[in-house]
Chain A
């Protein structure tokens, strides 16, 4: 038992240590500096730990940052900082830059998003809004499903996919529990929620961490909140429509009608109104950067300030912020920063000869790798690992061979980000899947079937749009 637990951990550390022990010139990269060599080992360690998860993913992130400041920074351990004879140490990283990943604009963006979600659920805004919006969909099972999917998707654009799934399952659950066992229709309804939550997250930069991670690697201001939505929203709509038809076809309901309990009352206390107004204003400001000049990151800190000042978010509520997600993202940022600043990312991208491979092949292989990985591990960790590589590849492609530069860096990163959200074939693929699966109303097989179809259709849509545009 003990050995079994420690074995994966041992492997995860042994391989990077072995790589670290090799002399730099053995590795198949030209003029590798010692710092770059260490980054390769850290990257390998992070990849192994994120894939096999012998420790929680956020712990791996924290380890990355720790190893970076100890082994790569100008304030690191003395033996790592001193220039050894006859080996090129390379450029050490400023330790402030590594620590700055904790307070990166992306992190603030997510904190703002979490603040909105915490305030909304504390004052029941999410639940009441969902109920009000569900009413017009009536009692016919297939339209109730459509309503559930649309509302789940819209909420997951601004709240975390996980929080949205919990809320929607809480609305749907009591009705499903009364249905006869093995009713296909109920299965379909339960499946609709994680599918819509996973899909909905694609539509906005704060919908899901991989989107924000993609933004991190784009030039400042290259893609605004509204611009992201202009691409993401149509994609999400098409995918949802497809999922709705698919679920209706695969899981026809015996009963034609069903009734959700939608009674609820909006709170009217002053604090509740602060929440309603701030929520609406924040989303509005996110969408109208060109009017007021503040980008999405700057806007994100405003609700935090408003909620803490007005006592909507108390000291207790601060603990509800998903620190694990923030740290997971921060570790990815630190990893990407090291790859980029040390010049390793570009060196890697250049040494793989993309000119021969062709742009399409490169993009499709990146996106497929991302899709596959995201099915088996955390979407955010996947994006953490692949996004810096994708960014370097896209940059060398568009700057290197002039003839192939029609595709800029933006579509490549957007495609990789979308791909990571399409991975949803297993209960472990995403937290919404895990939650829906844990209710016991659906089986792995159901997730596999629908997830595979929806994932594949998403990939096909992305590739065809890309080909049409270029």
Chain B
């Protein structure tokens, strides 16, 4: 069980499977999780919180039965414990208005349009996670290998005094 979670929310099982496959390279340090609806995602987040795991990144579809993706992102943004999590909209059907709403009120960090390229999705996720780790994690060393090593090692350089103090 890893400290951080990447959560993917989409109502289509194939989309979830394909996203998980694209991000498999990160599974060594991040738990990759999938939810088929916002309700399922909420349950999952409550559960993971009890396990002391933290949401690092969420990839969310917009048009789903029940709560819409953008509304879910806004909901997360308003809760302290999920505010820091990187929020990605992975969708083909979010209109301009929804997208602007996600950007303004949902703390949207990135927008990926369907259909996507596996390697691009991986690279963007890697960048977002690097930023997340740099802002939220003290033990940087272990994340350098899977994320943007150059960026992480230069942060280690800058923070070397406090790191070697731990």
Contact = CB atoms under 8 A, between A and B. Distances in A.
Contacts of B160: 121, 163, 166-167, 170
A122 B161 contact: yes
Contact of B161 (A178, A320, A431): A320
A440 interface: yes
Nearest to A323: B165
A441 B145 contact: yes
Nearest to B146: A440
B132 interface: no
B82 to A, nearest CB: 25
Contact of A174 (B141, B142, B146, B149): B149
Interface residues of B, number: 20
Contact of A163 (B145, B149, B161): B161
Contacts of B139: 438
A27 B103 CA distance: 74
Contacts of A162: 164
Interface string B134-163: 000001011011100110111011001111
Given A170-B153, A174-B150, A174-B153, A118 B161 contact: yes
Contact of B157 (A118, A167, A176, A178): A167
Interface string A173-208: 110111000000000000000000000000000000
A173 B157 CA distance: 10
B139 to A, nearest CB: 7
B99 to A, nearest CB: 34
Main SS class of interface, A: helix
A173 B140 CA distance: 12
Contacts of A438: 139, 141-142
A163 B165 CA distance: 8
Contacts of B163: 166
A170 B149 contact: no
A308 B165 CA distance: 20
A286 B128 CA distance: 48
Nearest to A440: B145
A351 interface: no
Q: Which of A122, A166, A438 is packed against the most chain B CB atoms within 10 Å? A: A166
A320 B142 contact: no
A431 B141 CA distance: 13
A261 to B, nearest CB: 9
Main SS class of interface, B: helix
A169 interface: yes
A182 to B, nearest CB: 12
Given A162-B164, A322-B165, A438-B139, A177 B144 contact: yes
A177 B156 CA distance: 14
Interface string A364-382: 0000000000000000000
A325 to B, nearest CB: 9
A67 to B, nearest CB: 27
Q: Which of B157, B164, B165 is packed against the most chain A CB atoms within 10 Å? A: B164
Interface string A420-440: 000000000001000100111
A121 B149 contact: no
A173 B149 contact: yes
A337 B144 CA distance: 45
Contact of A127 (B141, B157, B162): B157
Contacts of B150: 174, 177
A170 B145 contact: no
Interface string B85-110: 00000000000000000000000000
A239 interface: no
A174 B149 CA distance: 6
Q: Which of B149, B156, B157 is packed against the most chain A CB atoms within 10 Å? A: B157
B142 A170 contact: no
B144 A121 contact: no
A177 B149 CA distance: 6
A173 B144 contact: yes
B114 to A, nearest CB: 30
A160 interface: yes
Contacts of B142: 438-440
A176 B164 CA distance: 21
A169 B150 CA distance: 12
A165 interface: yes
Contacts of A441: 145
A169 B156 contact: yes
Contacts of B154: 170, 174
A320 B165 contact: yes
Contacts of B161: 117-118, 121-122, 163, 320
Contacts of B152: 173
A438 B138 CA distance: 12
A218 to B, nearest CB: 29
Contacts of A169: 141, 153, 156
A127 B154 CA distance: 12
Nearest to A178: B149
Q: Which of B141, B146, B150, B162 is packed against the most chain A CB atoms within 10 Å? A: B141
Q: Which of A163, A170, A322, A438 is packed against the most chain B CB atoms within 10 Å? A: A170
A297 B112 CA distance: 62
23 contacts: A118-B161, A121-B161, A162-B164, A166-B164, A167-B157, A167-B160, A169-B153, A170-B157, A173-B149, A173-B152, A173-B153, A173-B156, A174-B154, A177-B144, A177-B149, A178-B149, A320-B161, A322-B165, A438-B139, A439-B141, A439-B142, A439-B145, A440-B142
Interface of A: 117-118, 121-122, 127, 160, 162-163, 165-167, 169-171, 173-174, 176-178, 320, 322, 431, 435, 438-441
The 9 closest A-B pairs by CB, nearest first: A177-B149, A173-B153, A163-B164, A170-B157, A438-B141, A162-B164, A438-B142, A440-B145, A166-B164
Given A173-B156, A178-B149, 6 more contacts: A117-B161, A121-B160, A167-B160, A177-B144, A440-B28, A440-B146
